[in-house]
Structure 1
Amino acid sequence: MNSSIRSRYFWPAAMLVTLALLAIGLVTVQSTSAQSATAVINTGALNVRSGPGTQFSVVDVVYQGQVVTMIARTTDNSWVFIRTPNVVDGWVNASYIIPSVPINTLPIIGAITPTPTPPPTNTPVPGTTPTPVQPIYATAVVNTGALNVRSGPAPTYTILTAVYQGDILVMLGRNGDGSWIYISTPSNVVGWVNAKYVIPSIPIANLPIIGPVAPTPVPGTATPIPPTPPPTAVPSSAVVTTGSLNVRSGPGLSYSRADGLDYGQYVTLMGRNLDTTWIKVTTPNGKQGWVNGKYIATTLNMNTLPVLTQTGTGIVVTGVLNVRSGPGPDYSILTSAPYGANMTLLGRTSDNRWLRLRAPDWTEGWANGAYIATSLDLNLLPVLAGPVPTVPAVPGVPPGIPPVVPPPVDPGNTASLRACPNTACAVTGSVYSGLSVTATGRSADNTWIFVNVNNGQQGWIPAQYVVLAVPIESLPVLTTPTG
């Protein structure tokens, strides 16, 4: 009987316990459902990192279409702290997920760190207890092809590394006027970048103002000496002002390409050639070479740079210029250069009438200086030969221009005269090697000359077949009628 009574009272009690457990379970499920926020991965593969930035290590990878649980966010909403299907917690870039709730509704946290081990109970030193600082992660995206990271907030500081278009930087501080930002790169290098070339996630003015970071002092040592500021009286750097700039092994277009620079990159100035048309520089990656001075900008007067090579540049201003084995028309022809060719000037005769030079095909020889235009003071070139003997004046030839030395007469070596400056035009006559003709005009590009022959023939002939007694530019430009 007693047993029966115990059984009768026990059943309702068991039911009550079961119902209570079900109720508790129901409440727990409802609470979890209400607080969960999810997101769908919207890229092929997405790294999950140990902190909110690409400089942090990868702890897991999630893939297109997977669902993750969102837990928290950074202050700028650019990174989200999530839990993966593998139950790994970490940070993902918010640009690559589709959230189920607005990201700005998530709680803000800094970098998630493991549960700290209780510190040892050492007696604290009075006045040395640090004030806890909650980390704030503000980021910036590099908005130029390549950007130098420097040791201080100015282009005169040394280059530590470079970051590239699209790289994400962690912003740590700024200088007083906000023109330079102290950052951490994806490879964990800290330094300064020019604020003009990044897109910040928050106003730069919101960053703390800091100076160049000095090394952390070792306890018990003397206070470190602040870094010496760079010299400002004589700037030693220049910025590239063209989209892409070749760095060459020597001061001229004929030299091989040694490196390349992009718009906005800084170089260190080392020296120049005689006429300051080419500048020797050190590139951001430490290579040395020569760049065309037209495509870099600096506050320094580049004429004050040391002259590192006794060369200049000149441009051919006649139809075809012969380069000879010696300084005079009697020497053999080594090669020739067309109108507009760039020549490297190496030296001169003592009277400046003939120049030692290097042609675009790397042949070195002598050419008549009257047919080379240059901004260089020829007296700066080294004297490599004595004066060229003066030739008798010829009526109608400007002073200083030597008379034509005609080639040997060869009636079998002929050239056609044409009705217009083009090989497709009709033939109007012919001339032979060594025949004297009168040049009365030229084409606008200096490649054709209009001549009159003593027998009444006239027409156009390629300039390369004519030896002129005057610079080709002295002839008038003639146009041929059309229609």
Structure 2
Amino acid sequence: MKKGLIFTLVLALLSLSIPQTTILAENSKVVINVDSLHVRSGPGLSYNLVSSVDRNEEYEVIAKDGDWIQIKLSNNLSGWVASWLVSEKKEEKKEETSSNPVKLGKLESTADGLRIRKGPGTSFQVVGSVNKGDVLEFKEKSESWVHISFKDYDGWVHSDYVKGLPTESPTNKEKTVIKSGSVTANSLNVRLSPSLNAAVMGKVQKNDEVEIYAEKYDWFEIKINNKTGWVHKDFIKVKTEEKKKEDQKKEETSKKQIATVTATLLNVRNDFSLSGSVVGQVKKGDQLELISEQNNWCQVKLPNGKTGWVAGWYVEKSEVEPPTENPEETSTVTIIYNTTNIRSGPSTSDSIVHRAMQGDTFKIAEKVNDWYKITLSNGEFGYVAGWIVTTTGSIAKVERPGMNQYLEGKTIVIDPGHGGRDSGAVGVRGAYEKTLTLRAAKLLDEKLKAAGAKPILTRNQDVYVSLSNRVSLSHYYQADAFISLHFDSSVYPSARGITTYYYNKSKDYSLGESLQTELIKQTSLRDRGVQYGNFHILRNNKRPSVLLELGFLSNMTEEAHVSTSRYQEQITTAIFNGLAYEFKK
């Protein structure tokens, strides 16, 4: 009896100590929500990497353990991913098709001179412009900014000046082919993700033609057996659309023929016979562009631009090589600001010789440092700053790094506070803190990526992430800065303003001071200062870290203000600038 009781107690204790792994229902799937997600051998950041997976890829779920999900990578390989970085795939409902459906992925500009910027914000450099009616390729939307591509430009435009935005992101959309190429290796491995450590899912052979859907680091995404995988770009010979068009243009140009006159004086007629009226004369040695031939007569283009017919037995036909163009001679600048100064030399200290208006176009004579020497309408030369114009042609573009140079290569962990079952503060009007922090985090993520930084989101959807996991991500990625985003609440409805919290003065205070200064400068909200805060994500964080309280949801006026896209733009610009100033020190 006593032995049986002891045995029962031992079993009970063992059942409490063994982690409970939930086996999920068959056919359950998840979709990856980040650009590249590590797959581990066990449910935690301490386990070894077995592979990596990419955004929008779908995987069958095997089991769940706490905040981790085990997924099936192939028949013989599985691994664990963080649940807060994936989403469960929901069964799609069939929608009625509209009689006039909107073509997904296409937008139309509603303004002339709409500026394309390098990142989602007015602080980013203008890289080009589009006019009313231009059709743009839609990539993604972040608050008031839209990521687009147009001709050779890739950048961001303000959503107020485009139409055709999808009401929601399309699911399971077909991948777009961006390039094509052929395999140069005898046998090339196709992997599950862009890494030599990733599992091999198949092979392609030498000279196989492949379509390329994406490019990441040194890898191309291609399709094999109706699935997409990754191959190393060193073993793919790429032929871009631009190259194809260039080859086609050369081929067409090379087919042009020249008719060289061999008679001392040759009549040009209006018809291909001797009865045709004489419309001009050409002399021996003249070279004329040959347009067509009829009954041994040649239709030629005269120096004055007119056409006529000459006897084919008095000309010698030959093919000519297409003329080599000087890129600088065919390049132009387009003015993007009204009353742009054109100066007498390549410096702001040189005198102003002309003022140009938005949309004005000038031919480029040459590039001088960060300035373009241009030809004015009166034939004289002037100089315009290269960072305030857009260019066409092959001439080198001018980019001024600005504050971006201090962010390039920096790893920033962005922590949108709360999430999932933890809503955080709830405003007087019903705004959820977890929703506002995620909106700000996503926009900040896009701004930092555009500057060349390496942002990491602790969550990118409405899921719960434990505080310890958030801190672990900061340590794992060795963050140069950890920014936790929050919105405040108080029993006093008049409480308002922005507060920045730090824990370790020597490690965190300088970062907090830089961010608080910029936040007040951008928003003009009440400055509640940089204060000590004994919070778990600061106290246990070994990397420079701060917690930002970005306004009070308990204040009805402030809640309405912080919920706007304009405010999201202000705070993310402030954090962006604050980080840049901090790294500049």
The higher relative CO (CA closer than 8 Å, separation ≥ 6) is in 2
Work out which of the two has the higher radius of gyration on C-alpha atoms and give 1 or 2.
1
Instruction: Give me the TM-score of the superposition, normalised by structure 2.
Output: 0.21
Structure with greater helix percent: 2
Question: TM (normalized to structure 1)?
Answer: 0.24
